[in-house]
Structure 1
Amino acid sequence: MAEEALSNLRVIELAQGIAGPYCGKLFADLGAEVIKVEPPEGDRARRLGPFPGDEPHPEKSGLFLHLNTGKKSVTLDVGVASGQAIVKKLLEQADVLIESDGRSPARGGEWGLGYDDLKGAFPQLVYVSITPFGASGPYKDYRGNSLTAMAMSTIMYNTGEPDREPLSTGGTPGDYIAGIQAWVGALAALAYREREGRARLPDGQGQQVDVSMAEAVACADEYNAAMYAFQGAIRRRYYSRHIFGYPMDIMPCKDGHIVLIPGVQGFPQPGLTQEGAVSGMALLLEKPELDQHPLFISGQERMVRWRELDDLLTPWLMEHTAREIVETAQALRMPFAPVPTVKDLLEDEHLGARGFFRRIEHPEAGELPYAGPPFRMTETPPRIQRAPLLGEHNEETLSALGYSEEEQTILREREVT
């Protein structure tokens, strides 16, 4: 098998939580050597779970196992001079440094691990910084998380019922969006270094990649800013729907819920639908005569009288399973989808056929299913390998840096590692 696409890179990860570690995971799954520098007590994700049987264990956190596949773990107190010296030794052969979320010591600068502190000694280094609001501006020292970013992006303002408070989606999408953008930014900086630095400056041309979680999420605001710029209009909350068409919503069915999206084939299109043709929704409901109904003919009527349309659709939906509805709708070229539970997702035949979930053995957590790579590559396929034990690679890494057994013992006794 060919080497992975990024097997020539070394990444030092000074990051905890989700955003930075997810960025590091994307490097590791594509073959980069990612050395995760954890405090002696471990990344705080090790304490977040979920845990088997709800019993906390630093090696069995589902969150940590997911975010840290394929990495090496080195424990290090970077708040002391000897710890900082080891980090700098690691950076001598590193391509990328990832620090994130405002809690890692690199952000403070007082320990000499900020970008301005390091760029002179390590001109080849791509320094990736992920913070709630970026490294500059009035909010640069504000704390924040995914929920903060979702709120600041206008996505929350547009989500929820019109007469109720704004809502956020479940989970922490802001962290993952920021992690992906940080990875893309780092790859762009590495491509620039390869193109410009190697040709003109043999020592390399690194740079800082400054990722604001709030800005990363705001880039996904669809057309809110453009609507305000063009029309002076502020988009209001309209349930979970797209404001320019209905139905495009989650609806109940016999055994759960489905996403109902008729698409261009779903309803009659005056002047466009061939004479005698029956729309996809009328065929789905097995009532061709519905094409003469005002709610089928007029998109405007559907928007205004959406409750009536729900009453028209719901009885049929409640008589059929999600699988029956989705398969029939897809056959009619309408992009319906089920709303699966995690159990459904793990048992999904399509994902199974593509081998998306991988079962990986871990010495403490045992064999578990892991989400596979977000994309496929024909020549250099990503590989998902287990997450490291806390400090598993201390000896290997310190020995490679030239530290003797005696010196490593002293570092352990002084609780530096």
Structure 2
Amino acid sequence: MPDLALDDLRVIDLSQGIAGPYCAKLLADCGAEVIKVEPPQGDYARTLGPFPDDVPHHDKGGLFIHLNGNKKSVTLDIETESGRTVLRKLLAKADALVESYAPGHLASLGLGYDDLKEEFPELVYCSITPFGQTGPYSGYRGNSLTCMALSGLMYVTGDPDKEPLCTGGEPAEYFAGLNAFAGVLAAVGHRASNGGGQQIDVSMLEALGAADEYNTTLYSFMGAIRKRFYSRHLFAYPADIFPCKDGHIVVVPGATGFPLGMAVLMEQMELEQSTLFINLWMRSIQWQKFEEILRPYLLEHDWRDLLTRAQELRMPFGPVMSPRLLQEDEHMKARGFFQEVEQPELGRTQVAGAPYKMSETPLRSGAAPILGEHTHDALLELGYDTEEARILRERGVT
């Protein structure tokens, strides 16, 4: 088997939820040994499901499995002195720590970055929180929805005369996880060249705010505030979602779609001479008239036909995929994105793969751990004997 890119890296994943575990999963997919340190009751994501047959089980939750493949699980109550001692022994053998506690909590236990940097000067310490370690909001509670609101993303999403809308999923969590992954790699690279660890302070709000297209720049440069305008791109029309014969499709003619491309697609060559096809601003202003032409055509065709024909004309249309369609999609199958792993308690299970591929150091897909699956072996490796491990377990430390 080829070497993995990070197979010489050991990471302690002290985080819960989505952002931190996703960061650590990306490291594990690259070959890092990731030891997930969970409280004895487990990461709270184990309770979130979805579960087979809708029966909750801490080792069968879909979200947890998605976020924790290729990791080891060690249960540890770090609120106890014995638990903190074990954690310090784990950190002594680690390259990086990923944590998602509220700012100040680990410091109250003597486990903050400033508490550990002298003891572990080479440790890369990555903290992921809704608002960062400093600033007026640092002590606030938050989640992806909160950050979508505060980042301005929600302000520009929805109909102009209605309330703002959120997107589906948890984008702030995953954006933060990706940025944390990049931060850990940068810090490890710096340590290899110059020596020394450092703290990485990741804010979910800032991770999402940094993905802003131009709204903050528009205000900074021109004092203009973009308003909500349905699901459209502000400076191109149509760049929107429309119903078609068997679902919905994103219609994006692109830079060269008008006037000729769309006229050819719709098999109405006279439209090439239409003002609505020639002039972007006229089309944007009189969008209702334009849609009287477009919508009937779309409703006569299924999304596969529209996708194929539009892409042949180099127009980036795309269907709105359901989970079933996505998993059955021929492109995703050809890329091998969805992987089957042998998941304890479940058997063969399909999971999402990594978001990129590497030619020389392939990424791996693996099962998520059973709660506490590796606790005993980890304690033995740290120098505890079987009797000491039993006592820690009976006292609720592990």
Confirm or deny that 1:412 pairs with 2:393. Answer: yes
1:340 is displaced (CA, Å) by 0.9
Shift of 1:108: 3.9
* Map 1:1-400 → 2, pairs under 5 A: 1-102=1-102, 107-197=105-195, 205-268=196-259, 279-400=260-381
Q: Secondary structure at the match of 2:156?
A: coil
Structure 1 gap segments, 5+ residues each: 198-204, 269-278
Distance 1:411 1:373 in 2: 36
Q: For the residues of structure 2 that align with 1:311 and 1:264, how far apart are their CA atoms?
A: 22
Structure 2: segments with no counterpart, 5+ residues:
none
CA-to-aligned-CA distance 1:342-401 (integer Å, 9 cap, x gap): 100101101111111101111202211111111111110000100000000011100000
Note the C-alpha offset of 1:233: 0.6
The one-letter amino acid of 1:89's match is K
Superposition deviation, residue 121 in structure 1: 0.3
Matching residue's letter, 1:44: Y
Give 3-state SS (helix, strand or coil) of 2:258's partner. coil
The alpha-carbon deviation at position 83 of structure 1 amounts to 0.1
Q: CA deviation at 1:107?
A: 3.5
Alpha-carbon distance between aligned partners in 1 of 2:231 and 2:395, rounded to the nearest angstrom: 55
CA distance in 2, matches of 1:17, 1:369: 21
Structure 1 residues 101 and 309, CA gap change in structure 2 (3 angstroms): farther
Give deviations 1:128-180, integer Å, cap 9, x for gaps: 00011100111111110111111111000010100111111011110000000
Measure the CA separation in 2 of the matches of 1:309 and 1:102.
Answer: 51
CA distance in 2, matches of 1:141, 1:61: 30
Partner Cα separation in structure 2 for residue 107 and residue 95 of structure 1? 22
Match of 1:201 in 2: none
The CA deviation at 1:102 is 2.2
Secondary structure at the residue paired with 1:267?
A: helix
TM-score (norm 1): 0.94
Q: Secondary structure at the match of 2:108?
A: coil
Q: Distance in 2 between matches of 1:401 and 1:311?
A: 71
Preserved CA contact (<8 Å) 1:360 1:385: yes
C-alpha distance in 2, partners of 1:396/1:384?
Answer: 22
The residue number in structure 2 matching 1:276 is none
User: Could you say what secondary structure the match of 1:257 adopts?
Assistant: strand
Following the alignment from structure 2 to structure 1, what is the Cα–Cα distance between the partners of residues 121 and 107? 18
Structure 1 stretches of at least 4 aligned residues deviating more than 4 Å after TM superposition: none
Q: Conserved in 2, the CA contact under 8 Å of 1:19 and 1:101?
A: no
Structure 1 residue 296: deviation in Å? 0.6
Shift, 1:93, TM fit: 1.1
% identity of equivalent residues: 59
Please report how far the alpha carbon of residue 100 of structure 1 lies from its aligned counterpart in structure 2 after TM superposition: 1.0
CA deviation after TM superposition for structure 1 residue 101, in Å: 5.0
Residues of 1 paired with 2:14 and 2:246: CA distance?
A: 45
Matched residue SS, 1:264: coil
Q: Give 3-state SS (helix, strand or coil) of 2:155's partner.
A: coil
Aligned CA-pair RMSD: 1.0
**Cα displacement string for residues 5-47 of structure 1 (whole angstroms, at most 9, x for unaligned residues):** 0000000011100000000000111100000000000000000
Conserved? CA contact 1:258–1:322, under 8 Å: yes
Q: Structure 2: how far apart are the matches of 1:102 and 1:366?
A: 36
CA distances 1:194-252 after superposition (whole Å, capped 9, x unpaired) = 1111xxxxxxx000000011011000111111111111111111111111110000111
Report the counterpart of residue 273 of structure 1 in structure 2.
none
